[in-house]
Structure 1
Amino acid sequence: MADYVLVAGAWLGSWAWADVVSPLRAAGHGTHPLTLSGLADKRGVPAGQQTHVQDIVDEIERRDLRDVVLVGHSYSGIPVGQAAERIGDRLTRVVFVDSEVPVDGESFASGWWQGQAAFEALITDDGYWPPLGAAEFDGQGLTEEQVTRLVEGSTGHPAATLTEPAVLTGALGDLPATYIKCLLDGPEPNDTVAKLLTSDRWRLVTMATGHWPMFSQPTELARLLLAEAA
């Protein structure tokens, strides 16, 4: 059986996977939702980009997990992709859920669609990226209740994790990977992901929902994740 390590995106913690965990465990798999440093119940813990990479590697090594399906959503695809190449033969597959992917020497901020300066202008004086308000979840296939859960559960995201560069030692396209594209958030993966998908080790799966499928379609997301351990 596989061990799923689940890492949510910006502003979120392990709690975000609550509706996905049950079907994975019911199928007999180990399931390990992870909160990254500086977020949710770990708010206030100092964190940079490499702190988040180490959070993931440490969780896998501490638990001596094998046959790991490593899942990264949104922002967390960046540290997840780095961690995937550092855990060696413990990795079965890395799954990127509508996520960013790491580019060596680049950061989340440097890949921001409006440019790095525009992103850095969003950071508060105390060094956090503020969570989204309810209206910013419109058009993502979420119910009012789901939006409320997201808004109430989110915490500010430590800026250093978003501005520090990724460090890759190999080619990301050489990892066994699946990219799940959530179509309400845009019909096509970005150019970096599209290039990676030309690798015979990568495959593309789509979901007819928005950017937060662990809330909007948790049962379908769990079904897709279970297929990655087959």
Structure 2
Amino acid sequence: MTNYVLVAGARLGASAWDEVAAELRAAGHAPHPLTLSGLAEKQGVPAGQRTHVRDIVDEVERLDLREVVLVGHSYSGVPVGQAAQLIGDRLRRVVFVDASVPVDGESFLDGWPSDDVRRTIEESGGFWLPVGPEHYADQGLTDAQISRLITRASPHPGATLTEPAVLTGPLDELPATYVKCLLDGEEPMPVVAELLKNDSWELVEMDTGHWPMFSQPRELARVLAELGTTAS
């Protein structure tokens, strides 16, 4: 049995993983979907980037988890990557699902054209607001899946997106898998491509869009289960 701590991307909470968690549980594993501070059922809780890192570390320690596979999707790859460095020998592997990765001293919004996002945060009282169905077009999602995504979304605390990551060592020393969703671009971002040159990192491709926990939950669960079985 492998323990999975599952952390969804921007605007989403633990419920994003419902179908993946059910598949992992059926395969004999222990999934632990986590809602980060300020999101979903934790709306109203003040949060910055360090808060989200602490959320993940605290969950691992609270449950006294061992042999942990930390899974971060999209935005949450930034706090998940930092948390992976802080949980020591509790970590078995970190999995970045079509995710950003932390760069020391840089925020989630650094390194890509994010002026519109920064402006939205400023104009919306410090939050990155949920978006409409057009945002999810051409990502392998059915209308029903898009509807579930929109229903489960909540405003995302802007400070978590603008505060810099703090790494305690080289990220390439982590045992890591990067899951690239091909409908969201066939090539990993340059910082990820560089990390994938290291023996401790591996690439897995999925023929779906940026939200595979909605578009292909069974396939994503299978990928995670295989990693949990073979990771060392």
The interval holding the TM-score normalised by the smaller chain is over 0.9
After the TM superposition, which segments of 4 or more aligned residues of structure 1 sit over 6 Å from their partners?
none
Deviation at 1:122, TM superposition (A): 2.0
2:119 to 118, 121, 145: 121
Query: What residue in structure 2 maps to residue 52 of structure 1?
Result: 52
Deviation at 1:160, TM superposition (A): 0.3
RMSD of Structure 2 on Structure 1 (CA): 0.8
Structure 1 position 118, deviation (Å): 3.7
Q: CA deviation at 1:125?
A: 3.3
Task: Give 5+ residue unaligned stretches, structure 2.
Answer: none
Distance 2:116 2:215 in 1: 29
| Distance (Å, rounded) in 2 between the aligned partners of 1:132 and 1:217 | 21
What is the SS of the residue equivalent to 1:51? Answer: helix
Supply the distance in 2 between the matched residues of 1:81 and 1:216 (Cα, whole angstroms). Answer: 24
Measured against aligned partners, the alpha-carbon deviations of 1:45-94 in whole angstroms (never above 9, x if no partner) come to: 00000000000000000000000000000000000000000000000000
Identical columns (%)? 65
Q: Is the 8 A contact 2:70 2:80 kept in 1?
A: yes
Distance in 2 between residues matched to 1:2 and 1:207, nearest whole Å? 22
Kindly indicate whether the alpha-carbon contact (under 8 Å) linking 2:117 and 2:128 is maintained by their aligned counterparts in 1. Answer: no
* Letter matched to residue 94 of structure 1: V
The residue number in structure 2 matching 1:64 is 64
Shift of 1:153: 1.1
Which stretches in structure 1 are left out of the alignment for 5+ residues? none
TM-score, normalization: structure 1? Answer: 0.97
Mean Cα deviation higher: 119-128 or 73-82: 119-128
1:71-110 to structure 2, matched below 5 A, reads: 71-110=71-110
TM score, norm. by length of structure 2: 0.97
| Paired residues, number | 228
Distance 1:178 1:9 in 2: 17
